[in-house]
Structure 1
Amino acid sequence: MDSCEDPHHQQEHQSKCTMRVPGPIIVGAGPSGLATAACLTEQGVPPLVLEKSDCIASLWQQRTYDRLKLHLPKHFCQLPLLDFPEDFPKYPTKQQFISYMDSYATHFSIRPQFNQAVQSAEFDPEFGFWRVTTKDRTFISRWLIVATGENAEPVMSDVAGIEKFHGSVLHTSAYKSGSEFKNKRVLVVGCGNSGMEISLDLCRHNAIPHMVVRNAVHVLPQEVFGFSTFGIAMTLVRWFSLRLVDKLLLLIANLTLGNTDKLGLRRPKTGPLELKNITGKTPVLDVGALSQIKSGKIKVMEGVKEITRNGAKFLDGQEREFDSIILATGYKSNVPTWLKGCKFFTKDGMPRAPFPNGWKGENGLYTVGFTRRGLLGTASDAVKIARDVAEQCRTMPTRDPKTSCNNFP
């Protein structure tokens, strides 16, 4: 029984409530959580979605820059059971993707409980359920679905001396537009997709970006003769080995983009697809930054040795002044901060089991959004999780004739 069944008691002591949830608890209302909730709903299983922010897809709504577009064609990024609108362009904008998420939640009647940051989640082996605690209450369920994903928290740079800098320092999660940096000298630390796109955006707003290349990086064309490079790769891997496909992709990249090593963008020795599988590091899909690098408008810098009061010293001996520093240093999982007593995740908050087996743990634990394969991986895992939970519901003994997912001690 719920400890909050009396409505007057619930209003008085809401913070002390323990609520029994008949279906799974989903932590996170981003694309991963919404996709899983939709698939469960379609299977007749009622999920409860807990979201720490005040909206769905908060990373997209609150932590992305204005000019962001999907890097892959929309058919690789749509969620299960509901396609993107036909009139959306091949590469939907940030606002179009957010509107799709809103329509998706409405279509499947997904109503997350907002402002419910999970403080702890732990399996109770005595009673066989998960106990999930937020600031307001505790929820119990036989299933816990971790949908907070790989990109839950910004990774801040550990560059020496950054605390000395007298200009503004911000992570890409706080960057909106280059219009705030007109005629400013900006140091962008990081050369992944975000670092490249923000440097390009700064250029278009007449800022002066200097992009730090800390590691080797694969840069590929977004399209070849009107066809998505990613789509070409996905087709080729069905017929050829990963290493052969990597060789073909690098041949295409060299023919269309030229030798990026000469621009200060050294390629890793491991091919782009193989590197993605091993480390999760995504190749950069060029949307215009490379031409600005070639023209000198985006200046590529070697690694930073030290941040100074007014700028930075670089490993090649150069020293330059900057007005602002933007950290394009990526994101990380936050699972270890709240999931307790669970060895399914590594200390970095990623499932120990490699893809495609990382979606299911023990004792009713599931994960979605941790495949390192973007929204395509999310869609695949959401479908598998919903089917697995629905099968358990169908075979589970019950004391409640209204639902086969309501058998708690």
Structure 2
Amino acid sequence: MAAEAALPAEEEVIIVGAGQSGLAAAACLSLRGVRSLVLERDDCVGSLWRKRAYDRLHLHLAKKYCALPHAPHPDDAPTYLPRDDFAGYLDAYAARFAVRTRLRREVRSARYDPAATRWEVEAVDLATGKVELYAARFLVVATGENDERFVPEVPGMEAFPGTVMHAAEYRSAEGMKGKAVLVVGGGNSGMEIAYDLAAGGSLTSIVVRGELHLVSKEIWNVAMALYPYLPVWIIDKLVLLMCAVVFGDTARHGLRRPAVGPFTMKLTTPAYPVVDVGTYAKIRAGEVRVLPAALKSVRGNVVEFADGQRHPFDAIVFATGYRSTVRRWLKSDDGLIGDDGLAARSYPEHWKGDNGLYCAGMVRRGIYGSCEDAELIAGDISKLLRPEQEQGSNTAGNKPDSNGS
């Protein structure tokens, strides 16, 4: 009986991660008649949106760029979807395409067996502690860019008397009115949290060490609309011209722009432009203080910075991003996944590895990138499993719905 219980459950495709990328891949496979199973560590699909996002979050791109394949948002949906609306959309998407999920399953190991020509996956049921074994010809890594919280080590932080949290834990400025709050990190999350705190009456400071491109939602959506038709360098020039009109010289207020244009940077580096939600007005009005140096140490409630400045704070929010954990469990050296746990190859060659290994949403191209990856992966797997069916399919109909890239 013990040997029989240890036999792995057979699947055609195992997908790790039930965020937008995993759901999109499962749906596209299902539409092609390919059976898949999604293993998810959390207890719901789309957990990033439901459990690790602040209350005021809205998608920064218009809804037509934020729909998963074959399921556009309805006409009466807001142009920029609120967090809860998008989380509900993901629930409905999983139900609509009958995505098979096993929740609270943490993958501990995935390795390719060349003798059996299949992937062998070991997962733990976090509810019971039981080890489960799976086998599949294809494995899709869809754990996303935002996996494990990253907080830098700062000497003395353990003795800080106030509140310390990661941006994943921040929900609102409730209880922070009148308090001095430091936000560490000048990306989209840090900037938006700083705005939320200042609007809620906090004495807000934000650490912005590097250069960044500040854009508005409207400017960035113009850039997205132009992308299929114009060279990137022209889009960069147009975006910067519009930004100069809207924002003026942001460097005067501590926000230095990189020499590389915003759209070029988005396509070639991990850096996203910062979509302004009102933070810049708060900075210009003196309601949000920009600090340019890294944290050096903490003594009591006083934070010392690398440039010698010292300031007292009541709370610190680390908007310092995430780290992938893929390399801890994926036993593969084919070069598809890099040491940082994200796609090692540049777009558009990033999504397919050897021996039936794929990755979706791992190359920092947002929701629309997840859509493209899902269609490519589903088409390739379908072709390998059912070449006759794929040859007769209308491939033009397999492109992402309403999702420009």
Q: Same fold (TM over 0.5)?
A: yes
Task: Assess, with a 3 A threshold, how the Cα gap between structure 1 residues 34 and 276 changes in structure 2: closer, same or farther.
Answer: same
Please give the residue correspondences for 1:113-124 in structure 2 after superposition, counting only pairs within 5 Å.
113-124=102-113
Distance 2:23 2:220 in 1: 25
- Cα distance per residue 1:204-231 (max 9 Å; x no partner): 22111100112111101221xxxxx223
Name the structure 2 match of 1:243: 233
**AA matched with 2:85:** Q
Task: Give the residue type in structure 2 aligned to 1:73.
Answer: A
How many aligned positions are there?
380
- Could you tell me which residue of structure 2 aligns to residue 307 of structure 1? 298
Shift in Å at residue 382 of structure 1? 0.3
Give the one of 136, 139, 151 matched to 2:134.
Answer: 139
Alpha-carbon distance, 1:306 to partner: 2.5
Distance 1:17 1:207 in 2: 57
Consecutive unaligned residues of structure 1, counting only runs of 5 or more, are: 1-8, 224-228, 397-409
After superposition, residues 327-346 of structure 1 pair within 5 angstroms as 327-342=318-333, 343-346=335-338
Q: Tell me if the contact between 1:30 and 1:147 (Cα under 8 Å) persists in the aligned partners.
A: yes
Partner of 1:77: 66
Question: Offset of 1:160 from its aligned partner?
Answer: 4.2
Whole-Å separation in 1 of the counterparts to 2:188 and 2:377: 30
Structure 2 counterpart SS, 1:82: coil
Counterpart contact for 1:311–1:323, Cα < 8 Å: no
**How far apart, in 1, do the equivalents of 2:168 and 2:149 lie?**
7
Secondary structure (helix, strand or coil) at the match of 1:385 reads helix
Match of residue 253 from structure 1: 243
| C-alpha distance in structure 1 between counterparts of 2:181 and 2:387, whole Å | 60
Specify which of 142, 166, 172 is matched with residue 177 of structure 1.
172
Assess if the C-alpha contact under 8 Å between 2:220 and 2:239 holds in 1: no
Equivalent in the alignment of 1:192: 187
- Cα deviation, 1:374-394, whole Å, max 9, x if unaligned, reads 000100110111111111111
For residues 23-61 of structure 1, give each alpha carbon's deviation from its aligned partner in whole angstroms, at most 9, with x where no partner exists: 200000011100011111100111011001111011111
Q: Hey, what does 2:340 align to over in structure 1? A: 348
Counterpart-to-counterpart distance in 1, 2:49 and 2:246: 31
Q: 1:87 aligns with which of 56, 76, 89?
A: 76
Give, in angstroms, the shift of residue 13 of structure 1.
8.3
Asked if structure 1 preserves the Cα contact closer than 8 Å seen for 2:41 and 2:105, the reply is yes
Tell me if the contact between 2:336 and 2:351 (Cα under 8 Å) persists in the aligned partners.
no
Which residue is equivalent to 1:108? 97
Instruction: Give the C-alpha shift of residue 248 in structure 1.
Output: 1.8
Partner of 2:384: 392
How far apart, CA to CA, are the structure 2 residues paired with 1:212 and 1:230? Answer: 24
Identify which of 354, 378, 385 aligns with 1:362.
Answer: 354
Q: Structure 1, residues 43-86: CA drift from partner, whole Å, max 9, x if none?
A: 01110110011110111111111111101101101000111122
Deviation at 1:322, TM superposition (A): 0.4
RMSD: 1.7
Alignment match, 2:85: 96
Q: Which residue of 2 aligns with 1:400?
A: none
The alignment status of 1:28 with 2:28, answered yes or no, reads no
| Structure 2: unaligned runs, 5 residues or longer | 125-130, 389-405
Residues 168-211 of structure 1 deviation map (CA, whole Å, 9 limit, x = unaligned): 21110111111132221111001111001001111122111100
Alignment match, 1:403? none
- Equivalent residue for 1:293? 283
Distance 1:322 1:90 in 2: 37
- Structure-2-length-normalised TM-score: 0.90
Contact kept in structure 2, 1:181 and 1:207, CA below 8 Å? yes
- The one-letter amino acid of 1:300's match is V
> Map of 1:143-158 to 2, 5 A cutoff?
143-158=138-153
1:53 to 37, 42, 46: 42
Task: Say whether 1:212 aligns with 2:203.
Answer: no
1:324 aligns with 2:319: no
2:266, 2:256 → 1: CA distance?
A: 16
Cα distance in 1 for partners of 2:108, 2:91 equals: 26
Query: Is the contact between residue 17 and residue 137 of structure 1 (CA under 8 Å) also seen in structure 2?
Result: no
Match of 2:26 among 37, 44, 53: 37
**Partners of 2:36 and 2:100 within 8 A in 1:** no
Distance in 2 (CA, whole Å) between partners of 1:13 and 1:153 is: 35
Equivalent-residue separation in structure 1 for 2:298 and 2:250 (angstroms): 27
Alpha-carbon separation, structure 1, partners of 2:237 and 2:155: 37
1:318 CA drift (Å):
2.3
Give the deviation of 1:111 after TM superposition. 3.0
2:384 partner letter: Q
Q: Is the 8 A contact 1:27 1:51 kept in 2?
A: yes
Q: Match of 1:178, as an amino acid?
A: A
Instruction: Spell out, residue by residue over 1:246-294, the C-alpha distance to the aligned partner (whole angstroms, 9 max, x if none).
Output: 1221111111011110011111121111222222200001111111111
Corresponding letter in the other structure for 1:38: A
Q: For 1:155 and 1:354, how far apart are their aligned partners in 2? A: 24
Identity across the alignment (%)? 42
| Residues in 2 aligned to 1:38 and 1:170: alpha-carbon distance in whole angstroms | 36
Q: How far apart, in 2, do the equivalents of 1:273 and 1:199 lie?
A: 25
